[in-house]
Amino acid sequence: MAEEARRGPGPRRATVQEAVMLLLCLGVPTGRSYNVDTESALLYQGTANTLFGYSVVLHSHGPNRWLIVGAPTASWLSNASVVSPGAIYRCRIGKNPNRTCEQLQLGSPGGEPCGKTCLGERDNQWLGVTLSRQPGENGSIVTCGHRWKNIFYIKNENKLPTGVCYGMPSDLRAELSKRIAPCYQGFNCDGSSRIILLDWLYFCLQYNYKYI
């Protein structure tokens, strides 16, 4: 037995190994490497310390092609008093030699009413943490800020981080954007995880009270 081990594999075993290698070379699909085309990359740059590029989605409307970019800690050009609320940008693909991007103001800069027992806190809400596009031609855009809070009950030392989202039509007219806050009653619509399916918006729900 020891002598056979020293001699190595017999002729039959060697023949089987050769057959397997031949099959691998001739008939079995093999893996292929994938390289990112860095030479043709489109580079867009946002303001420093805004997490520009945290989320991205490709979008088209008619002949126009866009890269929509989230920057969850960006400041608003239209209301600098809100602390790092986050924003989204549209960056045109093609006919944009300077690779500029435009900030889109979603909702009212001064804020929207959210209910009789609701007072919104938009500071550090992380709007733009996620982006999603409705499937199909001319799909709408949705972005979320999962750290938006209802501070109506702050006297009781409670903040309710229910989160907020905005929907925007395919033509990217930000003035037509609509606020979406289905988790008004104290449940957290964690906008850090969401998908769009047809006209329905699904959230990952989590019961989440925050005490200050």
CB 82 within 8 A of CB 112: no
Is the pTM above the cut of 0.85?
no
Domain boundaries, the chain: 55-211
Task: List residues bridging with 120 in a β-sheet.
Answer: 150
Using one digit for the tens of pLDDT, what is the confidence trace for 46-92?
999 999 999 999 999 999 999 999 999 999 999 999 999 999 999 99
Cβ contacts of 188 within 8 Å, gap of 6 or more:
146, 161, 162, 163, 205, 206, 207, 208
Using one digit for the tens of pLDDT, what is the confidence trace for 129-158?
999 998 888 899 999 999 999 999 888 788
